[in-house]
Amino acid sequence: MLWAVLAAAAAPLQVARNAFQRGMIGEAGPWGATLVRFLFGLPFSLALLGIAVLATPDARPEPGLRFFLSVGAGGLAQVAATACLLVAMERAGFAVATFLQQAALPFGAVLGWIAFGDGMHPLQWLGVGVTTVGLSVLSWPREGLRTMDPGALLGLAAAAFFALSMNGYRQAGLALEPRHPIFAGIGAVVAAQAIQSVVLGGALALLRPAALRAVFVSWRASLGAGACGAGASVLWFSALAMSPPGPVRAIGVIEAPIAALAGRTLFRERLTPRQLAAGAATALGVVVTALA
C-alpha cells in the first residue's frame, strides 16, 4: 500500500501548488501560470533525482522509445489540463474546479482498462460509478445544457486531459525502471518537466512575451508553485508506477476538502448545498474505489 501513502501525501501539495498558480492568473495569464509548475519545479525535481540515484545504485533505467512517447504524451496532456483547470478555478471557483477534476478518476480508469488492460476490482468500478454521478450533479446546470457553465466544462476538460497524462506517466514509469518505481517516477517527472518547459516556454517567448516576463517578476510565488508542484508530481508519478491510475486518483480525493477550505479562506468562495452534496457523493465514490 505504499502507493496509497504516496498519493495521499501528494494531494495537499497539489492544492498548495494550485493556490499559488490561481493567484498568478491575473498577471501571467493561464498559460504563464501553467508554465510556472514545470519551469520552476524542474530544479527541485533534478535535486530529488540526484538523491534517488544515490539511494538506488542498482537502478538500470532504460529510456527507450516507449518511455519518450509515453512521457511526451503525458506531458503535453498535463499542460492542457493545467491551463483548463486554472481557467476553471477562475470562472467556477477554486473548490468547484477541484471537485470537477476528480472526473479524471472515471476517465483514467476506463482509459487504462481499454488501452492498457489495467484491471480493477468490481467494487472499484462501483466507486467509479458513484463518483461519476456526483460529478454529473456537480457540473449539471440547473437551467439545462444550453446554460452549461463554461467553467464546469473546462473543469471536465481538465479531468479528461489529466486522465490521459496519468496513463501516459504510468506507462513511462513502467518503461523506464519497473524494479524501482520511486526512481522511475522521479525520472519521468524530470523528463516531463524538461519537455514542458521547453515547449511551453518557447511558445510564450514567441507569442506572449509579456506573460513570460510576469512569471519571472512574480518569482517568489513561482518558486512556491514549483516546489509544491515538484513534490506533488514526484509522489503522483511514483504511485502511478505501482498502481493503475483509477485507485491512485481515488486516494487523491482528499484534496477536495482541502481545496474547499482553501477556496473559502484565500478566495472567499462559498459552496451551495447542491455542490456540497455532490462533492460528498464524489468523495464516497472515491473512498469505495480506494478501499476495495
Nearest to 46 by CA among 224, 201, 190: 190
211-262 confidence digits (pLDDT tens): 888 888 877 878 888 899 899 889 988 998 888 877 787 777 666 666 666 5
- Which 8-state DSSP code applies to residue 236? H
- Please calculate the CA angle 15-16-21 and round it to the nearest 5 degrees: 95
Distance between CA atoms of 281 and 285, rounded to whole angstroms? 6
C-alpha cell at 279: 462533492
Give the per-residue pLDDT at 154. 85
Average pLDDT of 2-23?
A: 82
Per-residue buried b or exposed e for 244-266, using 16+ beta carbons within 10 Å of the residue's own CB: bbbbbbbbbbbbbbbbbebbeee
Domain ranges of the chain: 1-291
Give the per-residue pLDDT at 146. 47
265-283 confidence digits (pLDDT tens): 655 656 667 667 777 777 7
Contact (CB, 8 A) for 149 and 91: yes
Q: Please give the share of the chain, as a percent, with pLDDT higher than 90.
A: 26
Residue 158's identity, in one-letter code, is A
- Which 8-state DSSP code applies to residue 243? S
Backbone angles phi, psi at 258, to 5 degrees: -65, -40
Backbone angles phi, psi at 231, to 5 degrees: -60, -45
Give the per-residue pLDDT at 144. 46
pTM across the whole model: 0.77
More confident residue, 130 or 32: 32
Give the per-residue pLDDT at 45. 94
Give the per-residue pLDDT at 53. 94
Per-residue buried b or exposed e for 88-110, using 16+ beta carbons within 10 Å of the residue's own CB: bbbbbbbbbbbbbbbbbbbbbbb
Distance between CA atoms of 250 and 236, rounded to whole angstroms? 12
SS3 of 71, please?
helix
Contact (CB, 8 A) for 35 and 180: no
Average pLDDT of 75-85?
A: 88
Rg (CA), the chain: 18
Give the per-residue pLDDT at 87. 83
99-157 confidence digits (pLDDT tens): 667 667 777 777 777 777 776 677 777 777 777 777 666 655 554 444 456 777 888 88
149-196 confidence digits (pLDDT tens): 677 788 888 888 988 998 999 999 999 998 999 999 999 999 999 999
